[in-house]
């Protein structure tokens, strides 16, 4: 006579293999398999106006993929912490002192204040730097913010390579906050042009471009308690700024993850 446990194991295997054909598998005995109910059929995307012609003009360049070597800055052991954030921004201002638009663009008074940071540190617009591995290569990147008039903030990210620094992100907007979530840099902008809503853009490293790109761009509803809920994708280019502001990229990405508490640089 076979042991009783053999019969129990055989019954479990039979139920697992038979699936919905054995409706009574979960009906007898405690601990038996139970049906989760019918599964809704998957619904794929449906293309509208399929006769629309392909694009003949390149998309508007928002400057997201502009990559520039910072002139005159050397780093030790490809460690971004060996570079002074103020000196990095000053080197860029010296290289392009008249830049008012594009990834190097700064207000004239901001450029003058950056140039005078050494003699007037109290009015220096370069904020304290942060460090985070945003590219996934195990080394930190340098994250710099520059205050400008009308609550405009320039956010720049630098990567150490070949003994120097390469700027892999530069954008300007009217920023409420900048947050880190994993390897994403999330920017919140105060006005979406709709009362009770704000813009939120997640910038992520793109290996192919070798730069940070705005991979998720949302209009977010701000609740009465200050909580934020995704309200859908932006229908077009993101908020305007002095330099490249983000536009929509792709369709229907997952919501931006909630940011962690601010950490020490």
CA-to-CA distance for 92 and 157, rounded, in angstroms? Answer: 13
Beta strands in the chain (DSSP E): 68-69, 130-132, 141-147, 152-161, 164-181, 184-189, 197-206, 211-222, 228-233
DSSP code for 33: -
Lookup: tokens for 164: 């120097």
> According to the model, what pLDDT value does residue 103 have?
85
Predicted local confidence at residue 180, as pLDDT: 95
DSSP state letter for 94: H
Cα–Cα dist 174/149, whole Å: 9
Alpha carbons 24 and 15: distance in angstroms, whole number: 9
* E runs forming strands in 37-116: 68-69
This prediction has a pTM of: 0.67
How does the average pLDDT of the chain come out, rounded? Answer: 77
Share of the chain above pLDDT 90, in %: 47
Span 43-71, mean pLDDT? 77
Whole-angstrom Cα distance, residue 87 to residue 72?
Answer: 10
Report pLDDT for 16: 47
Q: What is the pLDDT of residue 240?
A: 34
Of 101-105, 118-122, 167-171, the least confident? 101-105
**Mean pLDDT across 167-177:** 92
Listed by start position, the domains of the chain span: 68-233
């Amino acid at each position: 006579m076979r042991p009783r446990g053999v019969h129990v194991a055989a019954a479990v295997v039979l139920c697992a293999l038979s699936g919905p054909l054995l409706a009574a598998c979960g009906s007898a005995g405690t601990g038996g398999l139970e049906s989760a109910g019918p599964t809704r059929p998957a619904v794929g995307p449906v293309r509208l106006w399929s006769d629309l012609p392909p694009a003949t003009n390149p998309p508007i360049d928002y400057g997201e993929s502009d990559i520039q070597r910072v002139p005159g800055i050397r780093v030790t052991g490809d460690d971004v912490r060996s570079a002074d954030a103020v000196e990095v921004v000053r080197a860029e201002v010296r290289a392009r002192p008249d830049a008012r638009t594009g990834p190097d663009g700064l207000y004239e008074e901001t450029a003058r204040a950056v140039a005078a940071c050494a003699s007037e540190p109290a009015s220096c617009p370069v904020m304290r730097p942060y460090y985070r591995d945003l590219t996934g290569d195990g080394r930190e990147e340098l994250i710099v913010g520059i205050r400008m008039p009308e609550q405009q903030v320039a956010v720049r990210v630098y990567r150490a390579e070949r003994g120097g620094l390469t700027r892999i992100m530069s954008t300007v907007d009217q920023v409420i906050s900048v947050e880190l979530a994993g390897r994403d840099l999330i920017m919140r902008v105060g006005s979406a042009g709709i009362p009770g809503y704000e813009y939120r853009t997640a910038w992520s490293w793109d290996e192919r471009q070798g730069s940070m790109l705005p991979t998720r761009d949302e209009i977010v509803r701000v609740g009465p308690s200050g909580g934020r809920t995704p309200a859908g994708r932006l229908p077009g280019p993101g908020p305007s700024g002095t330099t490249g502001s983000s536009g929509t990229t792709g369709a229907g990405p997952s919501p931006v993850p909630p940011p962690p508490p601010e950490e020490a640089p």
